Chain A
Amino acid sequence: MMNPKLRYRLVKSKSVEWIIVLFAFLITVPLIAIIFFVLKTGISKISWHFFTNIPKPVGEAGGGIANALVGSLLIVLVAALIAVPIGILCGIYLSENKDSKLASYSRLAVDVLQGTPSIVTGIVIYFWLVKPLGTFSAVSGSVALAIMMLPIVIRSTEETLKLLPSSLKEAGLALGLPYHKVILRVVVPCGFSGILSGVMLSVARIAGETAPLLFTAFGNPYISTNVLKPMQSLPLLIFNYATSPYEEWHDLAWGASLILLIWVLLLNITTKLITRKWKVQL
C-alpha cells in the first residue's frame, strides 16, 4: 500500500495536471466558435456577383464588395512595398552593429513602435499626410499600416541574421566580395525563410487592421485604384456594415469577414509551412 501522504500528493499533482490541460485546451472553444460562425453565415453570401460588384444604394438587396477587395489588396500591397525594404535594411543594421549607440536607440524606437496602439498611429498619420495633402488617401492608410509592420519585419530580420554563423560572412569577405554583396547575396538569402515569415506575419497582422484606416483611407463606395484618393477596405467595410441595422449590409459584412478570415489564416498557415520546409533544408 502507498502511504496516504504520498498518495495525496500524487492525486493532487495529477488533478492539477488535468485542470491545466482543461484550461489550456479551452482556448480552442472561442476560436472554433468564431471560425464556425463566420463560415456558417458567410459562405452563403459569397458568389461571383459578390466579388465583382460594388455595394448597392442603402437598403437595396444584392451588391458586392469588389471596392473593398481591390482597396484592401492595394493598401496592403503599398504598405508592404514601403515597410519591407526599410524593415529589412534596418534589421540588417541592427544585427550588424549590435553594440553601437545608434543601434540601441534604434532598437528602443522599434520597441516604442511595437507598443504604439494602432489608433494612435492613425491620428499621427492624419496630421502627417491627410491634412497636408488636403485629402484622405489610400497611401496615407498604407503608411500607417507600414509603421505597424516595421517592428515585426525588423525584429524577424534581426533575429534571423543573428542566428546565422559569422563564418558565412567571414568567408564571403575573405573571398574579396564587397560588404554589400556579402550581406545582400550571401547573408540575407541564407536567412530568407526567417525574414519571409516575418514579412508574411506582418502582412497578416495589418490585413485586418481597421483603426488606423478610419482617419486615413476613409472608404469609397466605388472601385478606386488611385492611391492618392480615398479607398474602401475589407476591415472598414465590416466595421461600418456590422454596426448598421440593414440585413443586406450584414450579409455583405459576413461575406467580407469570411474572405478576410480566410486571407489572414492562409497567410499564417503558409508562413508556417514555408518556415518548416526551409528549416529542413537549412
Chain B
Amino acid sequence: MNSKHVTVRRTIYGCFSVLAFSLMACNSGDNSTPGQMAEKTGDANTLLGAGSTFVYPLFSKQFSEYNKETGLKINYQSIGSGGGILQLTNKTVDFGDSDAPLNEEQTQKMGVPVLHIPMCSGAVVLSYNLPEVKDTLKLTPQVLAGVFSGKIKTWNDPQIASLNSGVSLPATPIVVAHRSDGSGTTNIFTTYLSKVSPEWNTSPGKGSSINWPIGLGGKGNEGVAGLIKQTPGAIGYIELAYAVQNKMAFAKIQNKSGNFITPTVASTSAAGNIQLPADAKVSLTNTDAAEGYPISGFTWALIYQEQGYNSRSQDRATKLAKLLWWNIHEGQKFCEPLHYAPLSPAAVTVAENILKSATFNGKPILQ
C-alpha cells in the first residue's frame, strides 16, 4: 500500500509544518497581545464584525482597548455598511455595523428581528484638496448639490466665490470623490442632499450606493479620503475623524438656521440632541438646532435579537452583548478624542433597553 503510505507521510509532514507555524505564531502573538492562553481555545475568543467604515477609527481604538481589558479579540473589517448588512444577513459575521438603518427590503431579507444599537454619532464633512487656499471654505446646501451633480465645474465658480469673499479661489477643475461601495456615509450625505435640494431628490436620489452623475469612486471612507488627499482640486464626503487624523481641510456648511457650522464634536452633539425613538432609528441630517452641524448621523451596531442561531454558544452571545454594553458605556470615553459625538445619557438609556431585549433561546442575555 505504498501510494497510501506516501499520502499518509505527506499529510503527516503537512501537519507538522502547520504545527510548527502555529507555534511560531503563538509565540510572536504573546509579545503584543494579552489573553495569550486563550489562543489555544481558538476562535471561541474572537468575535467577527463587519460593516461601516464611518465608525472604523473609533471601533479600532475601542476594540483594541477592550482586548487589553478582557483578552477578547474583535475582528472588525471595515467593508462598508452595505457589506456589513449583507454579511449579517448571510450569518457570516457576529455583528454588523451600519450608518443607515435597515430598509424594508433588507429587513424582509433578514427574516428575523435585528436590533439597531446606536454606538455614537459622527459628522460627515466635505473635505477638499486645495493647497493654495488657506482659509476654511464656506458652502451652502445648494452649492453642494451643484458640485456633486456636476453643474458647478471649477473652484472659482461665482456660486462658490460669492460665499467666500476674500478667498482667492483657483480655476482648478473640481474633482468629485464619492464611494464606490455601499455606504452608510453615502446614505447620510445623500439623505441630506435630498432634504435640501428637490432636484437631487428626484435624481440621483438617496441611498447607500447611488448612481453618481460624476466623479471618482473610492472604497470605504479610507478610499475616498485617500483620493481627496492624492488629487488636487478634489472634494469628497468623509467622516470627521478621517479628515482630522489626516490633516485634511474641510468646509463649514450652512445649516437650516442659516449659520455656517464647522463640524466638531460639539456641533455634532448639538444635532444629535433629540429625543430618540425606542428603536433608535432616526436621521439627524438637516437639524433644526441653530448650532448643529447639518450632515451628521448615528451609526448602529446590528445584531440578531435572537442570538441562538446556527448552533452558536450562549457564551458567544454573552460575550457579544457584553462587548456592546461596554461600547455604550466605558467605550464612550474614546469618542471625543477621535472626534465622534458620544451618546447623550438619554440615548444611552435607549441603547441599553434595546440591548437588553436581545435573547438567547428566548431568555434575555443581559439582566
Interface residues of A (CB under 8 A from B): 51-54, 56-59, 66, 70, 73-74, 77-78, 81, 85, 130-131, 134-136, 180-181, 184, 218-230, 240, 243-247
Q: Known pairs A58-B241, A222-B29, A229-B75. 10 more at Cβ < 8 A?
A: A53-B32, A56-B64, A78-B18, A85-B7, A184-B2, A221-B60, A221-B63, A221-B76, A225-B26, A230-B48
Say whether, besides A57-B60, A245-B248, A224 and B46 are in contact (CB < 8 Å).
yes
Say whether, besides A58-B57, A81-B14, A246-B245, A230 and B21 are in contact (CB < 8 Å).
no
Q: Are A244 and B223 in contact (CB under 8 A)?
A: yes
Residue of B nearest to A245 (CB): B225
Give chain B residues whose Cβ lies under 8 Å from the Cβ of A74. Answer: 18, 21, 25
Q: Are B75 and A221 in contact (CB under 8 A)?
A: yes
Residue of A nearest to B311 (CB): A134
Contacting residues of chain B (8-24) with chain A, CB-CB under 8 angstroms: 10, 14, 17-18, 21-22, 24
Q: Are B61 and A134 in contact (CB under 8 A)?
A: no
Tell me the complex Cα distance, A221–B73, Å: 9
Give chain A residues whose Cβ lies under 8 Å from the Cβ of B57. Answer: 57-59
Chain B window 221-264, contacts with chain A (Cβ cutoff 8 Å), 1 for yes, 0 for no: 01101101100000000000110011010000000000000000
Q: Are A52 and B31 in contact (CB under 8 A)?
A: yes
Which residue of B3, B10, B33, B245 contacts A180 across the interface (Cβ within 8 Å)? Answer: B3
Q: Are B225 and A244 in contact (CB under 8 A)?
A: yes
Decide yes or no whether B107 CB sits under 8 A from chain A. Answer: no
Give chain A residues whose Cβ lies under 8 Å from the Cβ of B248. Answer: 245
Give chain A residues whose Cβ lies under 8 Å from the Cβ of B18. Answer: 74, 77-78, 227
Q: Are A244 and B21 in contact (CB under 8 A)?
A: no
Which residue of B2, B31, B42, B92 contacts A181 across the interface (Cβ within 8 Å)? Answer: B2
Say whether, besides A184-B3, A244-B226, A223 and B25 are in contact (CB < 8 Å).
yes
Residue of A nearest to B4 (CB): A180
Q: Are A222 and B75 in contact (CB under 8 A)?
A: yes
Q: Which 8 A-B pairs have the closest CB atoms?
A: A245-B225, A244-B222, A59-B245, A58-B57, A57-B60, A57-B61, A225-B22, A223-B29
Say whether, besides A58-B56, A184-B6, A219-B77, A245 and B246 are in contact (CB < 8 Å).
yes
Tell me the complex Cα distance, A221–B57, Å: 13
Count contacts on B: residues with CB < 8 A to the other chain: 54
Say whether, besides A54-B33, A73-B21, A136-B48, A223 and B222 are in contact (CB < 8 Å).
no
Q: Are A240 and B222 in contact (CB under 8 A)?
A: yes
Tell me the complex Cα distance, A220–B29, Å: 13
Interface residues of B (CB under 8 A from A): 2-3, 6-7, 10, 14, 17-18, 21-22, 24-26, 28-29, 31-33, 39, 42-43, 46, 48, 56-57, 60-61, 63-64, 67, 73, 75-77, 90-93, 218-220, 222-223, 225-226, 228-229, 241-242, 245-246, 248, 310, 338
Q: Are B218 and A52 in contact (CB under 8 A)?
A: no
Residue of B nearest to A136 (CB): B92
Give chain B residues whose Cβ lies under 8 Å from the Cβ of A247. Answer: 246
Q: Are B42 and A130 in contact (CB under 8 A)?
A: no
Q: Name the distance in Å between B180's Cβ and chain A's nearest Cβ.
A: 10
Residue of B nearest to A54 (CB): B32
Tell me the complex Cα distance, A59–B337, Å: 12
Tell me the complex Cα distance, A53–B10, Å: 32
Q: Are A222 and B76 in contact (CB under 8 A)?
A: no
Say whether, besides A74-B21, A134-B92, A136-B92, A180 and B48 are in contact (CB < 8 Å).
no
6 residue pairs from A and B, CB less than 8 Å apart? A57-B64, A85-B7, A222-B33, A243-B223, A244-B220, A246-B222
Which residue of A130, A227, A229 contacts B46 across the interface (Cβ within 8 Å)? Answer: A229
Q: Are A226 and B3 in contact (CB under 8 A)?
A: no
Tell me the complex Cα distance, A53–B64, Å: 13
Give chain B residues whose Cβ lies under 8 Å from the Cβ of A70. Answer: 21, 24-25, 28
Give chain A residues whose Cβ lies under 8 Å from the Cβ of B26. Answer: 225
Give chain B residues whose Cβ lies under 8 Å from the Cβ of A229. Answer: 42-43, 46, 48, 75
Residue of A66, A181, A220, A225 ringed by the most chain B CB atoms within 10 A: A225
Tell me the complex Cα distance, A220–B60, Å: 12
Q: Are B61 and A58 in contact (CB under 8 A)?
A: yes
Q: Are A223 and B92 in contact (CB under 8 A)?
A: no
Tell me the complex Cα distance, A54–B92, Å: 24
Q: Are B28 and A52 in contact (CB under 8 A)?
A: yes
Tell me the complex Cα distance, A240–B85, Å: 20
